[in-house]
Amino acid sequence: MRGYKGEYDRAIAEFEKAAEANPKHVNSRYNLGIVLLHDKGDIKGAIKAWEDYLRVEPTGPRADNIRNQMGKMKGMVK
């Protein structure tokens, strides 16, 4: 999707729909955080997406990595 700015918004909408349709769908929450952070520069939005991810899947290697990343990110926002 790199280079297609409007595609990021469509991806975000699709990830949100997937999360709404299946409250246990962790990949949609994870990917939402990735797009918000890296493609949209929305640190607060990414933190929220990953907080939702952690509510669904609080343990495991990806959860630990997300917590570490969120710790760094929270220091970047006011």
* Residue 5 banded pLDDT, cuts 50, 70, 90: low
Amino acid at 76: M
- The verdict on pTM exceeding 0.85 is yes
Residue 39, domain CATH: 1.25.40.10
Tens digits of per-residue pLDDT, 16-58?
999 999 999 999 999 999 999 999 999 999 999 999 999 999 9
Domain that holds residue 44: 5-74
Tally of structural domains, the chain: 1
Helices (H), the chain: 5-21, 26-34, 43-56, 61-74
Count of beta carbons in the 10 Å neighbourhood of residue 53: 24
